[in-house]
């Protein structure tokens, strides 16, 4: 390992950040719980290892050189990445899914799709923070989601999800997604979904509908008809999907 690499430790990067934020070696030393002479010695060691000057010592303030500013910027980015890696490892260890994939066919309007995704992310953030506040033990950060667009032509093939408007995919399970902006015939919609479920070999579906006055009225009017086909409440389905968990049944989600 080179001398420069061994010198660029997280502690050294955090030291640079503390000096830059506090504006002086003495203030940074107090922040880090060190004496000023020890902090100055650590900076000199880092400069020797990199063979550059990080601070302009002609000024009373801790003024960064161009090289020092570059190290500060890159160091902050590296520290953020280290924290992100630690969080991902914790999520894997506690059983959180690390990726949620949604596959969407070209027949779906990209504008409608992005509007639905934006609403989904907003709802997921609210649900996650609520769970973290109410749960007795600390709750890990929910997994990041990823949107994957498909361009294949949908074909009827048992087990093939490409015939759906989208697919929620996680480790060990996948649920088809159907998106509707303004359905008018509930019975026709149910028949179409039943046929697609039969042809694809799946037993549950997430029906995404725009949260409009028309759609809310439609759901209320046909609540008794829809409750059997979509037993999982929309807010519960969003909470489970946000945590990377299969809702365990069909659901209507208004976004």
The verdict on 220 and 137 lying in the same domain is: yes
Contact 205, 250 (CB under 8 A): yes
The verdict on 27 and 108 lying in the same domain is: no
The verdict on 69 and 108 lying in the same domain is: no
| pLDDT tens string 202-213 | 889 999 888 888
**CATH of residue 42:** 1.10.10.10
Q: Which residues contact 173 (CB under 8 A, 6 or more apart)?
A: 246
Contact 154, 200 (CB under 8 A): no
Reported as type and span, the H/E element at residue 208 is strand 206-209
The last residue of one of the domains, among 40, 63, 92, is 92
The verdict on 176 and 104 lying in the same domain is: yes
Give the chain's domain count.
2
Of 177 and 143, the structure prediction assigns the larger pLDDT to 177
The last residue of one of the domains, among 47, 70, 92, is 92
| pLDDT tens string 76-104 | 999 988 888 887 787 777 766 556 666 66
The verdict on 238 and 223 lying in the same domain is: yes
Taking the CB of residue 228, how many other CB atoms lie within 10 A of it?
A: 9
Give the predicted TM-score (pTM) of the model: 0.40
Domain of 76 in residue numbering reads as 3-92
């Amino acid at each position: 390992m080179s001398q420069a690499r061994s010198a660029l430790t997280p502690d050294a990067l955090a030291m640079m950040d503390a000096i830059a934020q506090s504006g002086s070696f003495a203030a940074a030393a107090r922040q880090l719980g060190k004496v000023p002479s020890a902090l100055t010695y650590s900076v000199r060691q880092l400069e020797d290892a990199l063979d550059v000057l990080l601070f302009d010592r002609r000024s009373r303030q801790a003024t960064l050189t161009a090289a020092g500013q570059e190290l500060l910027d890159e160091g902050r980015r590296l520290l953020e990445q280290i924290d992100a890696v630690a969080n991902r490892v914790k999520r894997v260890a506690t059983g959180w899914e690390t990726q949620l994939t949604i596959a969407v066919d070209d027949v779906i309007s990209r504008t409608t799709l992005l509007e639905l995704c934006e609403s989904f992310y907003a709802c997921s953030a609210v649900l996650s923070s609520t769970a973290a506040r109410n749960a007795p033990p600390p709750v890990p950060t929910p997994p990041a989601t990823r949107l994957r667009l498909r361009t294949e032509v949908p074909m009827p093939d048992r087990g093939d999800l490409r015939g759906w408007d989208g697919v929620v995919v996680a480790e060990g399970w996948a649920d088809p997604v159907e998106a509707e902006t303004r359905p008018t015939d509930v019975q026709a919609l149910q028949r179409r979904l039943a046929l697609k479920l039969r042809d694809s070999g799946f037993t549950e579906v997430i029906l995404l509908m725009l949260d409009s006055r028309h759609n809310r009225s439609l759901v209320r009017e046909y609540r008794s008809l829809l409750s059997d086909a979509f037993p999982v409440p929309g807010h519960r389905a969003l909470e489970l999907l946000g945590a990377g968990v299969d809702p365990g049944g069909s659901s209507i989600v208004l976004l």
